[in-house]
């Protein structure tokens, strides 16, 4: 599994490239640009009449007022997903699952159905985790559309969100995403759980980085991650956070196809 370095973007409406944390090297070359906005800006731009999201109890979630943070999981479903879903159900928390197609959605349709049935958000992390900025447009479209088709076949629903592998995107990826009705979702918090099985370290990394309107990136495919989730949720709730899906974080705005969202 390729690593997922943290992507960094500006809060402005356009961006000329993407920096990967760690190396802080420019992820894109040439003169490329794509639209990016923060969740707070998206909410501010939403019509006053827009409908707010509902939480697991059916109550309104208004992240313009609440101290919200979005919980997301990449690269599943896996053998760990049912345990994770048990935890989320017990804690009455909904998350967004950016799922891989090959060896994941294709092999675990029951988990995909359960993710949907229990009110979590279905999202796209490509079919085979290719770096979208390194492949041809037709391949990018195929990587995304195969997941769209498979998820729809399993659940009757089509994802509206996608996360580009390693957070690498550009104008071409944005245009194809827009064509497929997909918004791009980056992140502000990463535990780098692909580097460690230490659940305490994963918990610490998440809690050290989480702020209002954050988007937390975790992976339900790694051994140390799911055992860290109960402690993460307990402490976030203690600190006054409302834990939501990405779409709830953006609400009352609706995700805009092609747009990249990052705090």
Q: Catalytic positions, please?
A: 74, 219
Count other Cβ atoms within 10 Å, centred on residue 252.
Answer: 19
Looking only at the bridges linking them, the beta strands covering 60-61 and 53-54 are: antiparallel
Consecutive H or E run containing 215: strand 214-219
Residues recorded for the chain:
263
- In angstroms, the first-to-last Cα distance of the chain is 26
Looking up tokens 């988990």, which residue turns up?
111
The residue written with tokens 């860290």 in the block is: 228
Place of tokens 């000329």: 16
Contact 261, 34 (CB under 8 A): no
User: Around Cβ 16, how many Cβ atoms within 10 Å?
Assistant: 15
**Main-chain phi, psi angles of 200, to 5 degrees:** -65, -40
Alpha helices in 92-160 (DSSP H): 109-117, 137-155
């Amino acid at each position: 599994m390729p690593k997922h370095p943290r992507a960094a973007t500006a809060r402005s409406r356009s961006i000329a490239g993407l920096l990967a944390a760690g190396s802080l090297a420019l992820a894109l070359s040439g003169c490329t640009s794509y639209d990016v906005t923060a969740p707070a800006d998206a909410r501010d731009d939403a019509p006053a009449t827009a409908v707010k999201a509902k939480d697991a109890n059916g109550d309104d979630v208004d992240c313009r007022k609440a101290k919200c943070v979005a919980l997301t999981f990449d690269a599943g479903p896996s053998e760990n997903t049912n345990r994770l879903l048990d935890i989320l159900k017990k804690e009455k928390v909904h998350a967004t699952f950016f799922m891989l197609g090959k060896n994941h959605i294709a092999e675990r349709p029951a988990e995909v159905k359960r993710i949907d049935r229990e009110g979590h958000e279905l999202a796209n992390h490509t079919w085979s985790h290719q770096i979208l900025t390194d492949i041809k447009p037709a391949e990018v479209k195929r990587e995304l559309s195969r997941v769209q088709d498979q998820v729809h076949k399993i659940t009757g629903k089509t994802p509206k969100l996608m996360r580009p592998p390693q957070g690498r995107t550009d104008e071409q990826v944005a245009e194809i995403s827009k064509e497929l009705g997909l918004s791009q979702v980056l992140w502000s918090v990463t535990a780098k759980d692909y580097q460690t099985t230490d659940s305490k370290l994963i918990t610490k990394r998440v809690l050290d980085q989480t702020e209002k309107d954050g988007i937390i990136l975790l992976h339900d495919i790694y051994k140390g991650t799911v055992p860290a989730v109960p402690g993460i949720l307990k402490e976030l709730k203690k600190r006054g956070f409302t834990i939501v899906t990405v779409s709830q974080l953006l609400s009352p705005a609706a995700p805009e196809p092609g747009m990249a969202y990052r705090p």
